[in-house]
Amino acid sequence: MITSIDHIVILVHDLVTATADYAALGFTVTPGGEHTGGATHNALVAFADGSYLELIAFRREAPEHIWWRHVANGEGIIDFALLPESTAGAIADARARGLEIAGPFPGGRERPDGVRLEWQTGRATTPDLPFLCGDVTPRTLRVPSGAAHHHANGVAGIARVLVAVTNPAASAARYRALLGIEGGANATSIEFSLAHSAIVLVPAGATTRNDDGPFALDLRGGAQGTLEPSHTHGARIRTGA
């Protein structure tokens, strides 16, 4: 079973600069550490609903990395993850519903304090779908808590992530297979509701991108408005949802 949005991946060119910019926007930013293999490192903006934003930057050229292809397109939202109760179980369930999905794959990073944490991922074959990220070590090691949840701008969590899709009907079918739930459709979008948030599929031609993938994020709490893209490093983020 998939319970909620786990995190949003935001590619940045320089992690130190991005950390300072998000802090200037009123977010509490926690250093994350270096991923296995040393190609990337990250910082996290954790929310009270259990989700977080991952600011991630490459430390070296890494053409073998799944996200390296995004570097040429600049900074911004490049991916997002869902939290399963069991990664292997969620993969098996999705396959039983007809979805092509690979995994589980091992992953991990070392925090600045030297603590090692591990997770497992699962990934479908199409870019309209998120990946799965389930903890092997205790989730409390991966996701900051306590004071890290308090943000000066009043933001408390992720309300929805908006995903551009080139074939809404086909993407909706894949999401049904992944999540095991039906989406609610209207004239302009298809929405899949999770525990604390929603995934909204929007026809690609009506968005800022013409291909498949996440393109915008609505955060719960704080003043209503759109954050300045130069400070969010290309991520389209609205607050006050």
138 & 164 share domain: no
80 & 164 share domain: no
Residue-level pLDDT at 103: 96
Q: Is 237 left (phi over 0), alpha (psi -120 to 50) or beta?
A: beta
- 83-117 pLDDT per residue, tens: 999 999 999 999 999 999 999 999 999 999 999 99
Residue-level pLDDT at 205: 83
What residues are paired with 225 via a beta bridge? 239
As a whole number of angstroms, the distance between CA 223 and CA 240 comes to: 5
Mark which of 115, 147, 179 sits at the end of a domain: 147
Domain of residue 38: give its range.
2-147
19 & 47 share domain: yes
Instruction: Kindly give the parts of the chain with pLDDT less than 70.
Output: none
- The single residue listed with the structure tokens 């991946």 is 9
Q: What's the CATH code of the domain at 217?
A: 3.10.180.10
Residue-level pLDDT at 208: 77
Residue-level pLDDT at 137: 98
CA 203 centroid distance within chain: 20
Does the reported pTM lie above 0.85? Answer: yes
Joined tokens for residue 80:
């997002």
Among 201, 227, 196, 221, smallest CA distance to 212 is for 201
Residues 6+ apart with CB under 8 A from 205: none
Mark which of 147, 167, 186 sits at the end of a domain: 147
- Into how many domains does the chain fold? 2
Among 200, 192, 194, smallest CA distance to 216 is for 200
Residue-level pLDDT at 14: 98
115 & 160 share domain: no
Average pLDDT of the chain? 96
- 48-79 pLDDT per residue, tens: 999 999 999 999 999 999 999 999 999 999 99
Residue-level pLDDT at 209: 82
Sign of CA dihedral 37, 40, 45, 51: negative
Mark which of 98, 113, 147 sits at the end of a domain: 147
132 & 168 share domain: no
